[in-house]
């Protein structure tokens, strides 16, 4: 018989003992995030190159699992893994004019090697289109080679001029980039939609992150893209974080790098290219932000650095022996650690709650005598008494439930943040209250850019784009008053 109840403080624990963070998430999100990065030991910002950080084990362990989820999905969908060089010749970047124009201000350049001046500058990759497509021109020959689906996991470098923020905005970030060549534009668009489905399968269904996929307006497309789609996740402070984006690239890339194939009739044609970029370090930031609470982190089971922590209430040999017995049993399907530190029980509880471990088992003489284990679940912050003989099945069930609970909690908060707006005054009100404004808009092509500029100037927010599901616009543009052609969404961003 499993008995559940709200977790209570021990009589020996003072308020000071259990207060892990000095600020509440909904009162000062910025400070909350800074504290949780430090106190949960996710990253050390003291590395002496501005905008670069040292990722600590707790973030790396989770990010490795995130990489595995994404890479397994890509390989299941027939992408092949590659490792490309970090350095890209300047001549490569210059082959596609719009692309180089978009990225040159952010490039780190290598000019020297040892004591020798290089004959050509080399870029630390800001992204790898110009590296992949040079090789595509050597590898692709026939329609039988298509689709040609590739990816790599890599770190990329961009000289961000805005204020840097751990995981959210830094000058080096860790990601996956997928590059694919297709015979037709129609085939390429199928890939774009597959990329968006991959994002839903992993980011929402596994990582528990709610988002909306928007098609970006013409003035906010990826440099060199014909169409750009991106997933926006909302933070508690009302700013959205752009997560995976996927792009249908202009054929200018194929022409610049001479990526052609012969069709069934022997006629040479240029390929259509798509690219997709889940930034794992940035996605990790959203996992921290969306699921974390005033006690610290909360991880979905699949990407938790540690899934079960066993906390002996005493250092009695029988308690430690029982802890080891339980560890071995659960280790058959979960990552498990016994806390053998000399901290008090309250300190241990706080530590593992801060770390966001999904399951904690508290074990003392009472539990051994009664053969009932005290199980704390981080998703609901509740304690439950579980018969020892049922612990494996209970934890397996909790592993499935906890992720769904976190996803459900996050989804409900996100849905409440979207509000209709009729004019700039209402847009500003929604944005200042931490929401996403939805309104009629004249055009998401270039002619609408001037209205977008008004929005950014008046509210500090930007037009994020249109939803994939067709929404019929009625009435007039909220800015210029012309007949609305689109429904757009507006929010502040990082």
Helix (H) or strand (E) holding 133: helix 129-139
**Chain centre to alpha carbon of residue 7:** 31
Q: What is the pLDDT of residue 233?
A: 94
What percent of the chain is predicted at pLDDT more than 90? 86
List 110's β-bridge partners, or say none.
Answer: 122
> Quick check: 409 pLDDT over 60?
yes
For residue 417, how many other CB atoms are within 10 A of its CB? 17
The more confident residue out of 417 and 16 is 417
Tens of pLDDT, residues 168-218: 989 999 999 999 999 999 999 999 999 999 999 999 999 999 999 999 999
Q: What is the pLDDT of residue 47?
A: 94
Euclidean distance between CA atoms 306 and 38, whole angstroms:
18
Tens of pLDDT, residues 375-390: 999 999 999 999 999 9
Q: What is the pLDDT of residue 11?
A: 38
Q: What is the pLDDT of residue 327?
A: 98
Tens of pLDDT, residues 223-255: 999 999 999 998 888 899 999 999 999 999 999
Euclidean distance between CA atoms 394 and 359, whole angstroms:
11
pTM listed for this prediction: 0.93
Tens of pLDDT, residues 101-115: 878 889 999 999 999
* Domains of the chain listed by start with CATH number: 29-291 (3.30.930.10), 306-395 (3.40.50.800), 418-493 (3.30.110.30)
Q: What is the pLDDT of residue 97?
A: 76
C-beta separation of 40 from 296 below 8 A: yes
Helices in 416-468 by DSSP H: which ranges?
424-432, 449-459
Burial class (CB in 10 A: 0-12, 13-18, 19+), 360: buried
> Quick check: 90 pLDDT over 80?
yes
DSSP label of 296: B
Q: What is the mean pLDDT of the chain?
A: 93
Q: What is the pLDDT of residue 101?
A: 80
Tens of pLDDT, residues 112-152: 999 999 999 999 999 999 999 999 999 999 999 999 999 99
> Quick check: 15 pLDDT over 70?
no
Q: Find the mean pLDDT for residues 283-306.
A: 97
Euclidean distance between CA atoms 88 and 382, whole angstroms:
52
Whether the ω angle into residue 3 lies within 30 degrees of 0, i.e. cis, is no
């Amino acid at each position: 018989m499993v008995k559940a109840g709200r977790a209570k403080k021990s009589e020996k624990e003072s308020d000071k003992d259990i207060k892990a963070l000095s600020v509440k998430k909904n009162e000062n999100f910025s400070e909350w995030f800074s504290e949780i990065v430090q106190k949960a030991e996710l990253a050390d910002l003291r590395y002496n190159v501005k905008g670069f950080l040292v990722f600590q084990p707790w973030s790396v362990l989770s990010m490795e699992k995130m990489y595995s989820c994404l890479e397994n999905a890509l390989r299941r969908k027939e992408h092949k893994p590659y490792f490309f060089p970090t350095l890209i010749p300047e001549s490569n970047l210059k082959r596609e004019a719009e692309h180089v124009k978009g990225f040159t201000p952010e490039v780190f350049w290598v000019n020297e090697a040892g004591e020798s001046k290089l004959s050509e500058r080399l870029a630390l990759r800001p992204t790898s289109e110009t590296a992949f497509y040079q090789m595509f021109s050597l590898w692709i020959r026939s329609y039988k080679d298509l689709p040609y689906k590739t990816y790599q996991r890599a770190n990329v470098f961009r000289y961000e001029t805005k204020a840097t923020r751990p995981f959210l905005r830094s000058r080096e970030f860790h990601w996956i980039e997928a590059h694919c060549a297709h015979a037709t534009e129609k085939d390429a668009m199928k890939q774009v939609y597959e990329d968006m489905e991959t994002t839903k399968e992993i980011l929402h269904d596994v990582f528990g992150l709610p988002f909306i996929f928007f098609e970006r307006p013409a003035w906010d497309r990826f440099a060199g893209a014909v169409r750009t789609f991106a997933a926006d996740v909302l933070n508690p402070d009302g700013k959205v974080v752009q997560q995976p984006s996927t792009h249908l690239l202009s054929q200018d890339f194929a022409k610049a790098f001479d990526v052609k194939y012969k069709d069934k009739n022997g006629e040479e044609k240029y390929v259509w290219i798509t690219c997709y970029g889940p930034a794992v370090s940035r996605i990790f930031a959203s996992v921290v932000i969306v699921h974390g609470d005033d006690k610290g982190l909360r991880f979905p089971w699949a990407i938790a650095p540690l899934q079960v922590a066993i906390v002996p209430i005493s250092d009695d040999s029988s308690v430690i022996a029982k802890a080891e017995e339980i560890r071995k049993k659960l280790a058959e399907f979960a990552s498990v650690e016994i806390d053998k530190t000399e901290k008090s029980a309250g300190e241990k509880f706080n530590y593992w709650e801060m770390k966001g471990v999904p399951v904690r088992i508290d074990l003392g003489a009472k539990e051994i005598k009664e053969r009932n284990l005290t199980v704390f679940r981080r998703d609901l912050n509740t304690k439950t008494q579980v018969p020892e003989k049922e612990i494996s099945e209970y934890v397996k069930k909790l592993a499935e439930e906890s992720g769904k609970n976190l996803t459900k909690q996050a989804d409900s908060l996100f849905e409440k943040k979207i509000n209709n707006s009729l004019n700039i005054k209402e847009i500003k009100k929604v944005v200042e209250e931490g929401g996403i404004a939805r309104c009629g808009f004249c055009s998401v092509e270039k002619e609408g850019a001037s209205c977008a500029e008004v929005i950014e100037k008046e509210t500090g927010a930007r037009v994020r784009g249109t939803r994939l599901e067709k929404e019929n616009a009625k009435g007039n543009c909220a800015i210029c008053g012309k007949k609305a052609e689109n429904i757009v969404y507006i929010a502040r961003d990082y």
